[in-house]
Amino acid sequence: MDLDKTAYHKVEFPRIVLAGGRVIDNMRDELKGLGLKKVGILTSKTPYNMLREKISRSLSGANISHEYEIDDYSPHEVLSQRFLVKFSGKIDAVVAVGGGRVIDVSKLVAEKGNISFISVPTVPSHDGIASPIVSIPSAKGRTSRFSVTPQAIFVDVTVLANVPHKYIASGFGDVIAKYTAVRDWRLAHLLLGEYYGEYTANQSKTCAEMVMKKSEEIGEATKDGVRTLTEALVNCGLLIGIAGTSRPCSGSEHLFAHALDAVANFPALHGEEVGLGTMMMTYLHDADWQGIREGLMNARAPVTAKQIGVSEGNLIKALTATASMRPDRYTILGEKGLNEKAAISLAKATQVI
Ligand SMILES: [Zn+2]
């Protein structure tokens, strides 16, 4: 490698990652070490009702005063602005206790308010729980970009194993996506000379292999299965911070999910859509798409358009729009992507329709 031609990039890590059983009960000492005086907690109704007491006990035990704000489902920008006005100048950090939406809005709050972000995920549905990427839904689907790295991540497997199964299935889909993300990344490197980090690419692939090995346990939502899944999700998030790009975790399968959100108005959970995309993009890479399908089925994740409530027409529309979702991201789809005939062939060959 010619180092002169390799651009440098910044690596950012969280200070603390605490993952395992009963983390929320035991995070007091770690919180103490963060030097926080007052935090604002963004959460939604269910986690607020279930976890408020434990969260408050840990924060009070660490001498951190705190106040809650409940998600009212207003657009990301609106909610983040309201949160900032309410807590303006009064808090050192925003603590996200919730799912993807709460975590994304909290990243915006931390970014705009120049304060720390602490991630306490309550569902294992995607790798945003540890990544510096913020994902904002819009009429055009979803836009993702770099935002803030969490200062600390508290992942309580006891909580994450006891959620409706679709969230676990979604997390599985978001991790196996790394098989195609890494293949697309390598292709962009070989064909267009894009920066490629072999270390992060291999680590990312390992995350996918680990959850694939445990697909049945993940399907049964055993503690061990969910633990492997959450560790993989956290690792993937960290890998984005190391690589300085979302490339190790996001390729054509993610572009497909973005296209599906745009065409069918967010029909399913992010990772459920990404899982379907992974299966189809694996077929295009001429790799073991049946293995991906089997893994998804073991994890009790959807493998057909019908299972995520998407019509055949919309699925094909999304496939033909996939390559144009992000023209700067070169993938197996090339610049123009699939025409309708090719999209139908692909969806039929992989039994998605
Ligand atoms: Zn994802």
Distance (angstroms) between ligand 1 centre and the Cα of 278 equals 11
CA–centroid distance, residue 116 to ligand 1 (Å): 23
Going from the Cα of 140 to the center of ligand 1, the distance in angstroms, rounded, reads: 17
Rounded Cα gap, residues 46 and 50, in angstroms = 6
Please tell me the predicted confidence (pLDDT) of residue 238: 92
The alpha carbon of 274 and the centre of ligand 1 are apart by a number of angstroms equal to 7
In this prediction, residue 10 carries a pLDDT of 75
In sequence order, the 6+-apart residues with CB closer than 8 A to the CB of 217 are 224, 225, 228
CA of 179 to the centre of ligand 1 (A): 12
Closest CA to 270 of 190, 174, 153: 174
Given this model, what pLDDT does residue 144 score? 87
270 CA → ligand 1 middle, Å: 7
Rounded to the nearest angstrom, the distance between the alpha carbon of 94 and the centre of ligand 1 is 22
pLDDT at 248: 96
Supply the pTM of this predicted model.
Answer: 0.94
Q: Give pLDDT, residue 12.
A: 81
Closest by Cα among 129, 165, 180 to 301 = 165
Q: Are 311 and 231 in contact (CB under 8 A)?
A: no
Instruction: Label each residue of 256-279 as H, E or C.
Output: HHHHHHHHHCCCCCHHHHHHHHHH
Nearest CA-CA partner of 22 in 207, 146, 161 = 161
Q: What is the Å distance from ligand 1's center to 58 Cα?
A: 30
C-alpha of residue 236 to centroid of ligand 1, in Å: 9
Q: Which two tokens stand for residue 198?
A: 């072999």
pLDDT tens, residue order, the chain (353 aa): 455 555 677 778 899 999 998 899 889 999 999 999 999 999 999 999 999 999 999 999 999 999 999 999 999 999 999 999 999 889 999 999 999 999 999 999 999 999 999 999 999 999 999 999 999 988 777 888 999 999 999 999 999 999 999 999 999 999 999 999 999 999 999 999 999 999 999 999 999 999 999 999 999 999 999 999 999 999 999 999 889 899 999 999 999 999 999 999 999 999 999 999 999 999 999 999 999 999 999 999 999 999 999 999 999 999 999 999 999 999 999 999 999 999 999 999 999 99
CA of 86 to the centre of ligand 1 (A): 31
Is residue 174 within 8 A of residue 126, CB to CB? The reply is yes
Instruction: Give the per-residue pLDDT at 139.
Output: 77
Q: How far is the CA of 178 from the centre of ligand 1 (A)?
A: 9
User: If you measure from the C-alpha of residue 44 to the centroid of ligand 1, how many angstroms do you get, rounded to a whole number?
Assistant: 21
CA 272 to centroid of ligand 1, rounded, Å: 10
Residue 215 CA to ligand 1 centre (angstroms)? 18
Q: Are strands 152-156 and 65-70 parallel, antiparallel or unpaired?
A: unpaired
Q: Residue 6: its pLDDT value, please?
A: 58
